[in-house]
Amino acid sequence: AQKVTQAQTEISVVEKEDVTLDCVYETRDTTYYLFWYKQPPSGELVFLIRRNSFDEQNEISGRYSWNFQKSTSSFNFTITASQVVDSAVYFCALSEAGDSNSGYALNFGKGTSLLVTP
């Protein structure tokens, strides 16, 4: 069975601080995909990044960076120099590859609510 744990329920930071959102996952599959999504108050889930299980390269995109470590089953997300517009709920999700008929359903964590204050 697959499981995604986001232990941080709420985080509050002051603008320009760095913040790291933790994600720990469990899966028996050797091939799987990890995602981060952002959910602003409007409700729409905005795709941020996807990572394959066989690609442990860390990635940086502007102020965002991701640290994928298979040894600890973690896929953490860091926002550098946070801004008020970063305030949202962030979800980590796992999808197992399954077979050719698999739908790659996403299994989400409970999310971390990030509040960035001026």
Binding site for another protein (CB under 8 A): 4, 33, 35, 37, 42-47, 50, 52, 91, 93, 95, 97, 100-111
Q: How far apart are CA 97 and CA 70, in angstroms?
A: 16
What is the distance between the alpha carbons of residues 9 and 37, in angstroms, rounded to a whole number?
Answer: 15
Closest among 10, 23, 11 to 108, alpha carbons compared:
23
Residues 39 and 111 sit within 8 Å (Cβ to Cβ):
yes
Question: Cβ of residue 105: shortest distance to another protein, in angstroms?
Answer: 4
82 vs 107, beta carbon nearer another protein: 107
User: Least distance to another protein from the beta carbon of 8, Å?
Assistant: 13
Cβ proximity to another protein, 13 vs 97, nearer residue: 97
When the beta carbons of 17 and 47 are compared against another protein, the nearer one is 47
- Shortest separation between residue 118's beta carbon and another protein, angstroms: 25
Give residue 33's Cα distance to chain centre: 11
Kindly state the smallest distance separating residue 55's Cβ from another protein, in Å: 11
State the distance between the two ends of the chain, measured CA to CA, in whole angstroms. Answer: 41
